[in-house]
Amino acid sequence: METSEQISARMRKQKSKKTKAEVLLAKALWHKGLRYRLNLKTLPGTPDIVITKYKIAIFVDGEFWHGKDFEKTSKNIKRNREYWIPKIEGNMRRDWQNDIRLKQLGWIVLHFWSREVEKDVDHCVEEVWEFVEYQEEGFF
């Protein structure tokens, strides 16, 4: 059983930029011929990958930090619930607000779970590519 200090140390080591999943998706998009910017701070939410030519903002979200299946998974949080539950709910609320702001600015917003990217990056690339094709054909 981990101590609180060990858990805190493990959580501090979690990266917020250039995670394995982000790098994997970025490289796959580059290989497909899509050029992008990473962590563009001028956009709401600082998207992980931004394809400026097509106004596509991509976020690669960690399942824990961004509340995947949160109604179910929140029950599994055993330690420091009074901190983690409001923290994750705040992250989810901020993600939603940033998505709205990006859409108001005319951006297409895509979210992928990090494990989804790691498991099937090709599917994620194809999903992005569909939006690129729609943009090129004038649908957006």
Name the pLDDT band for 8 (thresholds 50, 70, 90). Answer: low
Computed on alpha carbons and rounded to an integer, the radius of gyration of the chain in Å comes to 17
Mean pLDDT across 16-31: 91
pLDDT at 17 over 90: no
The reported pLDDT for the residue numbered 5 is 67
**What span, in angstroms and rounded, lies between the C-alpha atoms of 36 and 53?**
8
pLDDT at 14 over 60: no
**What span, in angstroms and rounded, lies between the C-alpha atoms of 119 and 110?**
17
Domain ranges of the chain: 16-136
Name the pLDDT band for 11 (thresholds 50, 70, 90). Answer: low
Rounded to the nearest integer, the mean pLDDT of the chain is 88
Q: Which residues contact 114 (CB under 8 A, 6 or more apart)?
A: 19, 20, 21, 22, 60, 61, 62, 63
Which range is least confidently modeled, 36-40, 61-65, 96-100?
61-65
Instruction: Domain 16-136: give its CATH code.
Output: 3.40.960.10
**What span, in angstroms and rounded, lies between the C-alpha atoms of 114 and 23?**
11
